[in-house]
Amino acid sequence: MKFAALLLVGCASSNGPHLTSVTPSQAPYGSTVTIAGERLCEGDCMTAGGEITFGDARATILSLTDTAASVSVPDGAVIGKTTIVLTVNNTSSNALAFTVVAP
C-alpha cells in the first residue's frame, strides 16, 4: 500500500508547471532573464493566467510559451539570494535559485 500511495503523489505533482533553469542566474533590477521549463502555460499561452515571482515581487512577463518565459527582474525583489516561482491556474512550480544583484 505504501508504494501505491507514493506513486500517486508522484503523478499528481507532475501535472503543474516545472522550471528547469534560469539564464542568467543573477542580474540587477530591470534585466531580462529567460526561464526554461515544462508546462509553463499548460498548452494555452494566450489565456493562461500565469504569474512569475522573485521572492514576493511579481515580475513582468515579456513572453511566454509552454517551455520558456522571458521576464524582467522586478524592482521590488530583495537584493541577494531569492527564488523564482511560476504559478499557473493556481498551481505553483518548483522554485529556482536566483540572485538579484545591486545595480
pLDDT bucket at 46, cuts 50 / 70 / 90: confident
What digits encode the pLDDT tens for the residues 70-102?
A: 999 999 999 999 999 999 888 999 999 999 999
Better pLDDT: 48 or 12: 48
pLDDT bucket at 15, cuts 50 / 70 / 90: confident
SS3 content of the chain, % helix, strand, coil (to 5): 10, 45, 45
Q: What is the mean pLDDT of the chain?
A: 85
- Dig out the grid coordinates for 98 from the structure: 536566483
pTM above 0.85, yes or no: no
Give the three-class secondary structure for 15. Answer: coil
- Rounded to whole angstroms, the Cα distance separating 73 from 82 reads 11
75: left (phi over 0), alpha (psi -120 to 50) or beta: alpha
CA-only gyration radius of the chain, Å: 15
Q: Look up the CATH number of domain 16-100.
A: 2.60.40.10
